[in-house]
Amino acid sequence: MAWLSTEFYYYKASPPCRAVWMTLKLLKVDFEEKPVDLLKAENKRPWFIRMNPQHTVPTFNDQSFILWESRAIMMYLMNKHGNEENQYLYPKEPEERAKVDRMLFFDMGTLYQAIKDYFAPKLHQGLPPDPEKENLLKTSLDYLDNHLEMGGVPYLCGERPTIADIAVLASITELDAMDYQYKCYGEFNRWVERIKENIKVYKECCEEGIKMTKDHVKQLEADMKKQMEKERKASLTKK
Ligand SMILES: N[C@@H](CCC(=O)N[C@@H](CS)C(=O)NCC(=O)O)C(=O)O
12-26 pLDDT, tens digit per residue, is 999 999 999 999 999
**Interval 194-237: pLDDT, tens:** 999 999 999 999 999 999 999 999 999 999 999 999 999 999 88
Q: Ligand 1 atom 14: the closest Cα is on which residue?
A: 56
Spell out the per-residue pLDDT of the chain, length 239, in tens.
Answer: 456 899 999 999 999 999 999 999 999 999 999 999 999 999 999 999 999 999 999 999 999 999 999 999 999 999 999 999 999 999 999 999 999 999 999 999 999 999 999 999 999 999 999 999 999 999 999 999 999 999 999 999 999 999 999 999 999 999 999 999 999 999 999 999 999 999 999 999 999 999 999 999 999 999 999 999 999 999 988 77
Q: Does domain 87-202 have CATH number 1.20.1050.10?
A: yes
Report the separation in Å between the CA atom of 58 and the middle of ligand 1, taken as the mean of its atom positions: 7
CATH 3.40.30.10 in the chain: give the residue spans: 6-81
Largest CA distance in the chain: 75
Nearest atom, ligand 1, residue 14 CA: 10
- CATH 1.20.1050.10 maps onto the chain at 87-202
CATH 3.40.30.10 fits 6-81, yes or no: yes
Q: Please give the sequence-ordered ranges of beta strands (E in DSSP) within 11-96, or none if there are none.
A: 32-35, 59-62, 65-68
Q: Which residues contact 160 (CB under 8 A, 6 or more apart)?
A: 88, 89
SS3 of 68, please?
strand
In sequence order, the β-bridge partners of residue 10 are 35
140 is catalytic: no
What was the pLDDT predicted at 238? 78
Among 57, 111, 124, which is best to mutate for testing ligand 1, by the most ligand atoms less than 8 A from CB? Answer: 57
**Amino acid 2: pLDDT:** 55
* The ligand 1 atom nearest the CA atom of 57: 12
How remote is the CA of residue 231 from the centroid of ligand 1, in Å? 33
Are the C-beta atoms of residues 60 and 36 closer than 8 Å to each other?
A: no
